[in-house]
Structure 1
């Protein structure tokens, strides 16, 4: 229902801070394929428009990755990012997650703060899939 909003919100923040990488294009264009393999995307909406989104996807061995968190800049600081992050964590737990992980960049200070607020702590980088990754966070599910 919100696929275009998912793509638009995520591309907006990626393009603002980094460059779009092939992995971004693959995940954004093929989100339905990821969903068939167990992933799920969550949205906060205002009217019929998504204002925040976050996705969680299984990576194996009980580990799930939180990814593609994005929020319309006009709605930052209103709790919508927290809401979609919490929905992702709950979904992963309900589907057998034992561990949650996030790869990101410290330039995104507000996002890193949000993750830490939700119990994520810095761990060694094991998934350097993106050039922009300079920090990985994890927590027990």
Structure 2
């Protein structure tokens, strides 16, 4: 059973290591990545963002995900990663569900993410949990990362 934790300074090394691992496996670490993952308190938390961590009972901290405040009411879901040893255990899905369950308590009107089509499994998960491809988000925010070629916006799932 996974446990979820909000950011503390003690968690900062996990944020760096987990994100550094997945980004460098698939892409080149960009200056913005280095800035954010090496100093999350300054670049995510202080401006009004949030970071969560997933803890596995046997493996320890295995995943992380952030909501970075871009402007009042606008948040980017970013730096979501799972350590290699925990992939396949549905950590990413559980973590994303947790983050989305916390999002309504955060004053937001736009929640978006930027990714790359190489991240097929992640894109499938995002679609499954309510994110939709959005040209407006790509136009407004897509230039933030050289690798970005997919932009998605969260649409709250409709209840029956």
User: Unpaired runs of 5+ in structure 1?
Assistant: none
CA contact (8 A) 2:65 2:81 kept: yes
Please report how far the alpha carbon of residue 29 of structure 1 lies from its aligned counterpart in structure 2 after TM superposition. Answer: 1.6
1:37 aligns with 2:52: no
Paired with 1:64 and 1:90, the residues of 2 have a C-alpha distance of 15
Where has structure 1 moved over 4 Å in runs of 4 or more?
none
Please report how far the alpha carbon of residue 61 of structure 1 lies from its aligned counterpart in structure 2 after TM superposition. Answer: 4.1
Equivalent in the alignment of 1:140 = 155
CA contact (8 A) 2:114 2:148 kept: yes
User: Unpaired runs of 5+ in structure 2?
Assistant: 1-9
Equivalent in the alignment of 1:87 = 98
Larger radius of gyration: 2
Alpha-carbon displacement from aligned partner over 1:23-59 (angstroms, at most 9, x marks no partner): 0011112200121211111111135731011011121
Residue-pair matches, total:
141
Paired with 1:103 and 1:97, the residues of 2 have a C-alpha distance of 17
Task: Please give the TM-score of this superposition, normalised by the length of structure 1.
Answer: 0.91
CA contact (8 A) 2:76 2:113 kept: yes
Paired with 1:59 and 1:77, the residues of 2 have a C-alpha distance of 31
- Secondary structure of 1:9's counterpart equals helix
- The equivalent position to 1:50 in structure 2, one of 50, 57, 61, is 61
